[in-house]
Amino acid sequence: MKLFPDALFDLAQETIRDLLRSRRRITTAESCTGGLIAALLTEVPGSSDVLGRGFVTYSNEAKEKVLGVSGKTLRQFGAVSVQTVREMAEGALVAADHDANIAVAVSGVAGPGGGSEEKPVGTVHIAVAVRGARTTDEKFLFSGGRTEVRVATVQEALRMVRERASEV
């Protein structure tokens, strides 16, 4: 039985190949995807060579306690913001210690509820932090239902990881 469609599995294989080639180890900090990025990567045999741990920080409390996201950031900008997702990625590198040198973080409104005029359903922020380099981020507005938003988030997160891994 397959957990993920072939296209997603292929993307995970390519990501792991790129991480191996660049001698990077990854950690994940996931909110709206609830661990799907780590789950997809671990579907690939040999993924333990590049993935040591992942963090599912769905609540604001978990973002603060596990990843060190500032309470002030969460209050001022909210969980779905560029500021929060950048702190999540950078905090994941700290929490992973020397087990990772690249981190991807995602936070968004997957729906069907929870959206607002300012942050409608489908709004997702993704950040990639690389130890010793700048953190990059992108904002997306995905369409579709909850599953489509989460899958699109996983795809874009891995695309961004691959781009950063190839910088080396």
CATH number of the CATH domain containing 153 = 3.90.950.20
- Of 161, 146, 165, nearest to 54 by C-alpha is 161
pLDDT at 168: 59
Name the phi and psi angles at 120, rounded to 5: -70, 165
SS3 state at 123: strand
Q: Given pLDDT bands bounded at 50, 70 and 90, which one contains residue 137?
A: very high
Residue 1 in any domain: the answer is no
Model confidence pLDDT, tens digit, residues 82-122 = 999 999 999 999 999 999 999 999 999 999 999 999 999 99
Burial of 4 by CB count in 10 Å (0-12 exposed, 13-18 middle, 19+ buried)?
middle
Distance CA 129, CA 164 (A): 9
Domain membership of residue 81 as a residue range: 6-165
Q: How many domains does the chain have?
A: 1
Distance CA 18, CA 42 (A): 15
Q: Is the pLDDT assigned to residue 1 strictly greater than 80?
A: no
Distance CA 89, CA 13 (A): 22
Model confidence pLDDT, tens digit, residues 19-70 = 999 999 999 999 999 999 999 999 999 999 999 999 999 999 999 999 999 9
Distance CA 35, CA 40 (A): 9
Residue 69 in any domain: the answer is yes
Residue 14 in any domain: the answer is yes
Residue 44 in any domain: the answer is yes
Residue 18 in any domain: the answer is yes
